Amino acid sequence: PSTAARSSDGELTVDGVPVSELAATYGTPLYVVSETDFRARARTFRTAFNAAFAPETEVDVFYAGKAFLSTHAARWAAEEGLNIDTASGGELAIALAAEVPPARIGLHGNNKSDAEITRAVELDLGRIIADSVEEIGRISAIASGLGRTASVMLRLTPGVHASTHEYIATAHEDQKFGLSLTPVPGATSDSANPYLGSPAWTAVTEALAAPGVRLIGVHCHIGSQIFEPAGFELAASKLIDFLARIEASHGVALPELDLGGGHGIAYTEADHPRSPEAIAQALAAAVRAACREHAIAIPRLSIEPGRSIAGPAGMTLYSVGTTKDVVVTDGLSRRYIAVDGGMGDNARPVLYDADYSAVLGSRRVTGEHVLSRIVGKHCESGDIVVRNVYLPPAVTRGDLIAVPATGAYCHSLSSNYNYLTRPAVVAVRDGHTQVLIRRETEEMMLARDTGYPA
């Protein structure tokens, strides 16, 4: 977090709290999140995007809860003026428990259940983002049955490849999300409307005719961990072209354009994402130009950053256990430093080949650093937390290792593999700590086994 510092004796502190105190009080592994940093990042997105698009339009920032969600985090985001983007009934339940007004919540999902849609409609959520033609009919039927009209956006796939890793590239055409702008094979073509026969166009036609649906706009999410504005600009211009076509053919100016999340963060020193201000300014210029070109009014914008708000605000604290020196090749050896967590609390290295960095948190040690690899305690050789990092040779059992930038997609992707319990999440702010999510106990974890205790 930006609030991390070294005390005079060399110990790492976060928001003024020494890591040894955090470890002694809450145990390790421990997710630590700086409330100060989380809030500051939330504010930065809101301010930067609204400044860039003023005075023509406003930008709603929906915090993407999948990155990290707890009732407290949802409250922080809401207090900073953000809305909440949820991807399931469970995430929605957390946002509601945090008393986020339903009008400020969006619901995503490529396969929403009837129960999830019913709940969203009953609550009159700010937006349900429809992901298929079939779903539009289902939303409309459920809403009509309840005497309601649901506010719906359509998730489109503009075919922009803006991701660094295949599994998080969601705008490829050949994937499960959204509605393609490309006509399906055999569709009747129309030189005036290149979208005719595409799932996206069919969805618009259906949504405009559906009695239980109020179509408020279009959405896309082009991927994750994006560093440059070009992909967002291209996606925006494609969606604006589509909005202009809707206006020309249906005579309806849809008021909203949501460009999703995906704003990248620095996991290591090799990562150099552009600032939210730079992304916002480039995007605003592209949106203005595209709307001018198509002679349509600038819609109200929204974005859905998750990682870029929660990621850098968090870090994981581990205790060092076993260390080993292993010969890699002649003259090169690597120190394996095993910590008390691993792929259960951070699946990203094994899932996405993700890189992290690490520092010795408990003390400062001088001397030449050695090539080290931080590994977990799971029964799998791919259970690596940090592939390559230079650490002091004196790192030893009982030391605390801090891995920065673990605030997003670590707790939310955590598992009980090997029946390891999941860590607590503790927030720090101005020298104070607060447990956001309790450490899982063995009893909590094993309670699902119908034969336990024997």
The b-or-e profile of 79-102 (16+ CB within 10 A means b, else e) is ebebbbbbbbbebbebbbebebeb
Q: Give the one residue of 41, 104, 238, 307 binding ligand LLP; rule: CB under 6 A.
A: 307
Q: Give the one residue of 260, 312, 404, 407 binding ligand LLP; rule: CB under 6 A.
A: 260
Q: Which is nearer to ligand LLP, 170 or 316 (CB)?
A: 170
Nearest to 422 by CA among 404, 434, 405, 439: 439
Q: Does 348 bind ligand LLP (CB under 6 A)?
A: yes
DSSP 218: E
Q: Which is nearer to ligand LLP, 336 or 352 (CB)?
A: 352
**How near is the Cβ of 69 to ligand LLP at its closest, in Å?**
12
Q: Does 352 bind ligand LLP (CB under 6 A)?
A: yes
Catalytically annotated residue among 220, 291, 379, 410: 379
Q: Which is nearer to ligand LLP, 129 or 254 (CB)?
A: 129
Residues within the annotated binding site for substrate? 307, 348, 352, 380, 409
Total residues at interface with ligand LLP (CB under 6 A): 23
Tokens 């974890």 belong to which residue? Answer: 445
Q: Give the one residue of 108, 119, 300, 411 binding ligand LLP; rule: CB under 6 A.
A: 108
Helices 230-250 & 276-294 angle (0-180, nearest 10): 30
Cα–Cα distance measured from residue 52 to residue 432, given in angstroms and rounded to the nearest whole number: 35
Please count the other Cβ atoms lying within 10 Å of the Cβ belonging to residue 448: 8
Amino acid at 443: E
Q: Which is nearer to ligand LLP, 169 or 360 (CB)?
A: 169
Cα–Cα distance measured from residue 186 to residue 61, given in angstroms and rounded to the nearest whole number: 39
Q: Does 261 bind ligand LLP (CB under 6 A)?
A: yes
Do 384 and 374 touch, CB atoms closer than 8 A?
yes
Q: Does 306 bind ligand LLP (CB under 6 A)?
A: yes
Binding mask of the shown chain, residues 34 to 73, with x at each position contacting ligand LLP by CB under 6 A? ------------------------------x-xx------
Q: Give the one residue of 38, 45, 68, 409 binding ligand LLP; rule: CB under 6 A.
A: 409
DSSP 200: H
**How near is the Cβ of 277 to ligand LLP at its closest, in Å?**
17
Tokens 């819609």 belong to which residue? Answer: 299
Q: Which is nearer to ligand LLP, 256 or 304 (CB)?
A: 304
Q: Does 104 bind ligand LLP (CB under 6 A)?
A: no
Nearest to 361 by CA among 59, 18, 67: 18
199 upstream amide cis, omega within 30 of 0? no
Verify whether residue 410 is a known catalytic residue: no
Do 404 and 315 touch, CB atoms closer than 8 A?
yes
Q: Which is nearer to ligand LLP, 170 or 281 (CB)?
A: 170
Q: Does 406 bind ligand LLP (CB under 6 A)?
A: no
Tell me which residues in 208-227 interact with ligand LLP (CB under 6 A): 221, 224
Stretch that binds ligand LLP, among 30-38, 40-48, 228-236, 407-415 (CB under 6 A): 407-415
Q: Measuring CA to CA, how many Å separate 104 from each of 95, 260, 280?
A: 10, 15, 22
**How near is the Cβ of 127 to ligand LLP at its closest, in Å?**
12
Cα–Cα distance measured from residue 352 to residue 357, given in angstroms and rounded to the nearest whole number: 15
Half-sphere exposure of 333 (CA within 13 A, CB side): 9
Q: Does 142 bind ligand LLP (CB under 6 A)?
A: no
Cα–Cα distance measured from residue 269 to residue 252, given in angstroms and rounded to the nearest whole number: 47
Which active-site residues does the annotation give? 379
Binding site for ligand LLP (CB under 6 A): 64, 66-67, 85, 108, 168, 170, 221, 224, 260-263, 304-308, 348, 352, 408-409, 413
